[in-house]
Amino acid sequence: MKLRLLVPLLVFGLVAIGALVVPAALTIAQQRTQQLERQRVEAFDQIVQRSFAAVSNVGSGSGTNLAVLDRYLERFYDTYREPVMVADGTGAKVTSIGQIPEGDATDRVVSDALRGIPQLELPTVYPWSDAWVVAARPLKTDGNVSAGVVAIGISQEQARQDVAWGWVQLGSVGSLLIAGLLVLGAVWTRWVLRPVRVLDTAANALAEQRRVESAGVTGPPELRRLATSFERMAQNVEAALDQQRGLIADASHQLRNPLAAIRLRIDALATHGAGEGSKGLPGEASGEAAEDIAAVTHDLDRLEGTLERMLKFAHAEHRASRRQSEVPELAEPRAGLGGGSGFLDGAGRGSGATPPEESFVSAATLVEPHRSALAAAGVRLELAGETEPVRAACNLSDLEEMVEILLDNAGKYAGSGSVVRVALCREQDRVILQVSDSGPGLSDGDLEQIGARFWRAVQHRDQPGTGLGHAILSQLACGNESTVRVDRAPEGGLRTRIEMGAL
């Protein structure tokens, strides 16, 4: 946008400066040409007077006037270093000094002068004009008949240099004007666009759920009001998000105590019901009560699991938001895997942000606690790539939590007989954690939905789960300035790739 404002301004300025400089340059050339003409016209008058007397007495045998003319021509040549030729009415040369430039142009000028047409008007002198130009003037009698001609070879070298130097000075002034226009244009566009930059920064911060910093805005009044209104809106949205996070955490925390009380009552009812049933309740009624209690206990387990996940999600989201608020500028997006569906781009490292914690761990160490659970589900676990520990810019507990989420999902949804491959390796300045499986995977539409809170695929809704696993994973990655990509694995199932900073 800065270029869109600056380029038209510069084009208009160049046109305006050109409209001033070009006529001024032409004026310099014309004035120098007129000065040259005036100088030579005075000399022409003196030469014509003496030449007329000399040409008139050529046939009388007197050489006095010719001698006077020759002396004057010598003084003229010593002064201007320009050749002069005097010819009679037939075109025969009477006297000369120096060498008149030869050519068609010279012949034409002399011929016109012999016919009584003076050739004193010089063409405008430019730096690229010819070094010499010939001017001629007829020697007219009382009957307006040409008795001869005087031709002078006029040097334009000094005039050309003067015009060139004048143009250089004029060009310097024009360049200074252009430089000044460029500086003023840059300052002006910066002033005009400052509210737009503030809006852009605030919009990026709002999109990344970072804190919107209030800054003094300068610029046009309309844009200042727009920037102020947007900042106020962003702060309201930020406050609403904070209230939402607080509500999730508070509600999850406050519901734990009532759920614990309900569980105690259900456990007591189950124990009491078993005792009463043994004393006299019909066997069928006792069995139905036991089934109802077991169903309620199962629902309580699900509810407690959901609340536990919501607390983890609220905690991870709070940490991710705090991490993003420390990043002063929007980072350059990092490239993900082609053809996949990514649901999070972690914040880039900005100057002034607190560096993330580090972990020095191997893939084998991360997956070891989950081997037995995967084996019980009929899922075979394999390690791929490097086996040596790597140093990653990620909190160790968060890294373990992310691996737990991915392996727990693989155990539940990949299916018995499938293979899960885990790789942890370093690629240049990044550490890559990749988990893939050979299960049935998800459709393209479902891949676009993964990562949404409480979302579960239709085919998985009859299995235990809350739909918060990948949402928690995304917030944990974001809190460690990492990126997550989910796509289809070559084996047919899902492939999750987490890119972390390397230390």
Indicate the pTM of the whole model. Answer: 0.47
Give the pLDDT confidence of 153-169 residue by residue, as tens digits: 888 888 889 999 999 99
Average pLDDT of every residue of the chain:
76
Return the sign of the alpha-carbon dihedral for residues 484, 236, 331, 445. Answer: positive
Q: What is the mean pLDDT of residues 399-423?
A: 89
Distance, CA of 145 to CA of 139 (rounded, Å)? 8
DSSP label at residue 98: S
Contacts of 498 (CB under 8 A, 6+ apart): 402, 432, 433, 434, 477, 482, 483, 484
Give the pLDDT confidence of 33-52 residue by residue, as tens digits: 888 888 778 777 878 878 87
* One domain, residues 311 and 374: no
* One domain, residues 88 and 17: yes
* One domain, residues 487 and 374: yes
Is 58 within the bounds of a domain? yes
Q: What is the mean pLDDT of residues 458-487?
A: 83
In whole angstroms, how large is the CA radius of gyration of the chain?
A: 49
* One domain, residues 251 and 151: no
Is 213 within the bounds of a domain? no
* One domain, residues 155 and 302: no
Both tokens of 427, joined, read 């690629």
Is 156 within the bounds of a domain? yes
Given the structure tokens 């010279």, which residue do they identify? 106
* One domain, residues 17 and 90: yes
Distance, CA of 100 to CA of 40 (rounded, Å)? 16
Considering 132, 165, 198, which residue would you say is the last residue of a domain? 165
Is 207 within the bounds of a domain? no
Q: Where does 251-358 show beta strands of DSSP type E?
A: 341-344
Distance, CA of 314 to CA of 245 (rounded, Å)? 6
CB contact at 8 A, 217 and 193: no
The fraction of the chain above a pLDDT of 90, given in percent, is 6
Q: 3-state DSSP call for residue 95?
A: strand
CB contact at 8 A, 161 and 75: no
Considering 165, 195, 222, which residue would you say is the last residue of a domain? 165
Contacts of 354 (CB under 8 A, 6+ apart): 323, 326
- Number of C-alpha atoms within 13 angstroms, CB side, residue 320? 26
More confident: 498 or 260: 498
Q: What is the mean pLDDT of residues 295-314?
A: 70
Q: What is the mean pLDDT of residues 443-466?
A: 80
* One domain, residues 433 and 493: yes
CATH number of domain containing 389: 3.30.565.10
| Tally of domains within the chain | 3
pLDDT at 397 over 60: yes
pLDDT at 218 over 70: no
Is 330 within the bounds of a domain? no
Look at residue 341 in the predicted model and tell me its pLDDT: 44
* One domain, residues 12 and 150: yes
pLDDT at 350 over 60: no
Is 214 within the bounds of a domain? no
pLDDT at 362 over 70: yes
Q: What is the mean pLDDT of residues 404-410?
A: 89
Is 328 within the bounds of a domain? no
Q: What is the mean pLDDT of residues 275-292?
A: 57
Both tokens of 232, joined, read 């106020």
* One domain, residues 71 and 116: yes
Per-residue confidence at 142, pLDDT binned at 50, 70, 90?
low
Is 442 within the bounds of a domain? yes
DSSP string, 390-458: EEESS-HHHHHHHHHHHHHHHHHHS-TT-EEEEEEEEETTEEEEEEEE-S----HHHHHHTTSTT---G
pLDDT at 351 over 80: no
Pick from 156, 153, 161: which is nearest to 135 by CA?
A: 153
CB contact at 8 A, 362 and 399: no
pLDDT at 217 over 70: no
Return the sign of the alpha-carbon dihedral for residues 199, 205, 207, 211. Answer: negative
Considering 165, 198, 230, which residue would you say is the last residue of a domain? 165
* One domain, residues 367 and 478: yes
Look at residue 200 in the predicted model and tell me its pLDDT: 73
Give the pLDDT confidence of 168-215 residue by residue, as tens digits: 998 898 889 888 888 888 888 877 777 777 777 777 766 666 666 666
* One domain, residues 4 and 81: yes
* One domain, residues 313 and 454: no
Range of the domain at 309: 242-272+295-322
First to last CA, the chain: 38
Query: Rounded to the nearest 5 degrees, what angle is found at the Cα of 452, between the Cα atoms of 449 and 458?
Result: 55
CB-based burial label for 122 (10 Å; 0-12, 13-18, 19+): middle
CATH number of domain containing 94: 3.30.450.20
Look at residue 337 in the predicted model and tell me its pLDDT: 36
